[in-house]
Chains A and B, each alone.
Chain A
Amino acid sequence: MPNRESRDNPAFRMSRRKMMKGVAAVLGALALPDKDASASVWESFFQKNFREMSKPELEKVLARLEKEYSKTYGKAVKVRATPHIEGVSYGYGLDLSRCIGCRRCVYGCVQENNQSRDPQIHYIRVLQLDKERGVDLEHAEHYYNPSKVPEKGHFYMPVQCHQCENPPCVKVCPVQATWKERDGIVVVDYNWCIGCRYCIAACPYGARHFNWKKAGLPAAEMNPETHYLGNRPRPVGVVEKCTFCIQRVRNTPGRYPACVEVCPVGARKFGNLLDPESEIRYIIENKRVFILKEDLNTRPKFYYFYAT
């Protein structure tokens, strides 16, 4: 999981260490009043990129974050960094013939993944489309709000991160704060992102979201089961995105992401693309499947299909 070549390169390590120590010494001399708080501020300031941390370094960081979040939200928060499972590559199926546009997935996701409630951040955007026009994004209705769905003459297309095999967002990041994990999930290190939003410009699916303001996350609604690369609370000024509920699917193999679980009509399917017996493989092999914006060669692992 971590990039060992660069970490074990002595020249790389030396120069960085020296630099860090020097800067830390200078800044330490400034000595802020609250010693404990300032120590954690500097620790987080000098924190390395997730992929360059050694195991003990990572454990220290996780412990610091757990302490910090537990204090903020007044409950025992767990921050894990469960690695990928060998032989697993996640794939997602969405049955357009079933989706009724109820948006339960949108809010189930918000609850599970500790998104900001004020301002609202949604990883899933459900588009209302005309049956006559088909998948025509230029004529999509984003803010449909009838008393009852589905509405006659329309169908619904939820869009979220497509976990591309060839993700344009990863390529453009100037600091490698975002990358594709071995199980295909595209993640962000919220402590490394500089907030330039180039990835937002590069994503063809509108899957990336920026923390324009300090996240409004009520303590009572905070989900304490978190993953470092997933649903832990995000700082202001960084980008976040759907991770297929990395905290669920990695900690408990076989568990579904929140959106799959909450869907009342079973329009959402999830599984291991490398397992020939999986439901997602069956769908790809037997149903009428398409991927969004195929011409961009992003090779999504998010498959739209028509079951009926």
Chain B
Amino acid sequence: MPMKMIWGFFKGTLTLVSKGSRAYYAWVACLLVLVGIGALAYIYQMENGLIVTAMRDQVAWGFYISNFTFLVGVAAAAVLLVIPAYVYNWKPIKEIAVLGEMLAVSAMVMCLLFVTVDIGRPDRFWHLIPKVGILNFPQSMLAWDVVVLNIYLVLNLTIAVYILYNLYHKREPNKSFTTPLLLFSIPAAVSIHTVTAFLYNGLAARPFWNASILAPRFLASAFCSGPAFMIILFQIIRKYTRIEIKNEAIFKVAELIAYSMFINLFLLGAEVFKEYYSDTVHLAPLQYLLQGLKGHNDLVPYIWTAMIFNVSAFFLFLVPQTRENYVTLNVGCVLIFIGVYIEKGMGLVIPGQVPDVLGEIYEYAPTGIELLVTLGIWATGLLVYTLLLRVAVPILTGEFFVGEDGRTAVIIDTEFIRRADHLAEKSYRD
């Protein structure tokens, strides 16, 4: 019986994702095209080797690992919604926490893809599987990362699917099952970010990364970028679907971003002070990032853009008037997302390797192939999130549920992405 119920649910979701408005089809088709382009670019890279990227021995990690690092932050940020929702039982956020968990799942998928396209021998992935291959745990921080990222992915997927599956059956999710998992997801989110920071932090050869402040900085900036993305997403979701998200929830998230951004900027300032005031040979990477070094200054305009964006966004989110005005709020979100993307991506990964360990300066800028593969992975992530939402949204609005027989799925929502006036006309809930 349960097997049949699960099969019915599964079949229902398949029917559901294949149905939708024209806008939904167009969006999915668009993403599929980008995924295809990315896949072609990756095949080209596989055939020719990583020489088609701009990475070399001097800068052995580039755009892929930068994106990976940034996205670990986005994934960890789901916890920001879980804490107020479940620990403090704050209702307006609780309703949408499941959307945050699904964002974490999508971000994790992207992270794993970015690592896959970066390694030289993806055919040997099985060497990482404990017992089958050899996972160098606990010595290698990369082994730790493999473990925590996969746990986090499975954990969020389990929570989200379990909650949705129960709502689909029109019953309250069993708290004795969900609460421990949700509570566990909080340290798990902290751990994925801490471990990723330690990955860099533990390398004494790279003074720019070998700073204890790195892990706290990672966490602080993660709590900015992930939620900023979610604020925009929530507005899109409530405009084009039947999900109701209260203003209150959005403004609360924005307030949390302001505090996190303050900590992020403070920690960055502490790091800048220490390096510049002590003025040792370890200053070179930071100088390369902020001022340029010996005429090499590719990163300088980017990092200052990021700084200006982050500081402006901080003030926009700090002042209640601008925080609660949708125009300034959204401007702030975009600024933060771009700002952290630069700072936590290329701004972190590249200066760790420039100048290199023997003092050579190799200026790295991604090639077209790297950009296309990256685009493809972002499109894949958005596609995964879209399909997850396609199932979750109708469940949350009560437009996708189990029928009288307890097996066949009932689908009321056949459109998914709809214009707002459409929504006002006929609400299923009324």
- Residue ranges of A at the interface with B (Cβ–Cβ < 8 Å): 12, 15-16, 19, 45, 49, 52, 119, 125, 127, 137-140, 142, 159, 168, 171-177, 192-198, 200-206, 208-214, 235-239, 296-297
Contact = CB atoms under 8 A, between A and B. Distances in A.
B228 interface: no
B136 A174 contact: yes
B311 to A, nearest CB: 30
Given A16-B132, A195-B121, A196-B119, A201 B360 contact: no
Given A119-B51, A192-B127, A173 B120 contact: no
Contact of A237 (B121, B136, B143): B121
B327 interface: no
Contact of B134 (A49, A237, A238): A49
Contacts of B123: 45
A235 B142 CA distance: 23
Contacts of B133: 49, 175
In the complex, the 9 A-B pairs of residues with the closest C-beta atoms, listed nearest first: A195-B120, A237-B120, A204-B205, A137-B359, A213-B51, A174-B142, A212-B51, A200-B60, A197-B60
A201 B210 CA distance: 12
Contacts of A197: 60-61, 119-120
16 contacts: A137-B357, A172-B139, A172-B142, A176-B134, A194-B119, A194-B124, A197-B119, A198-B140, A203-B357, A204-B357, A205-B357, A206-B58, A209-B57, A237-B120, A238-B120, A296-B204
Interface of B: 48-51, 53, 55-58, 60-61, 115, 118-125, 127-128, 131-136, 139-143, 146, 199, 202-206, 281, 284, 352-353, 355-360
Interface class of chain B by DSSP: loop
B360 A142 contact: yes
Of A175, A212, A297, chain B has the most CB atoms within 10 Å of the CB of: A175
Given A16-B131, A205-B358, A212 B49 contact: yes
B357 A19 contact: no
B117 to A, nearest CB: 11
A194 B284 contact: no
Nearest to B206: A201
Nearest to B210: A296
Given A15-B131, A16-B131, A49-B134, A204 B141 contact: no
Of A15, A16, A139, A201, chain B has the most CB atoms within 10 Å of the CB of: A201
B121 A172 contact: no
A226 B69 CA distance: 40
B127 to A, nearest CB: 4
Interface class of chain A by DSSP: loop
A193 B121 contact: yes
A140 B60 contact: no
A131 to B, nearest CB: 17
B291 to A, nearest CB: 15
A227 to B, nearest CB: 21
Contacts of B135: 174-175
B60 A138 contact: no
A138 B128 contact: no
Nearest to A18: B132
A142 B58 CA distance: 12
A200 B127 contact: no
Given A137-B357, A177-B127, 11 more contacts: A49-B133, A127-B359, A173-B136, A173-B140, A174-B143, A176-B136, A195-B124, A196-B120, A200-B60, A204-B204, A236-B120
A159 B206 CA distance: 17
B136 A175 contact: yes
Contacts of B122: 194
Contacts of A127: 358-359
Contacts of B118: 196
A204 B356 CA distance: 9
Contact of A194 (B53, B128, B202, B353): B128
Contacts of A212: 49-51, 53, 55-56
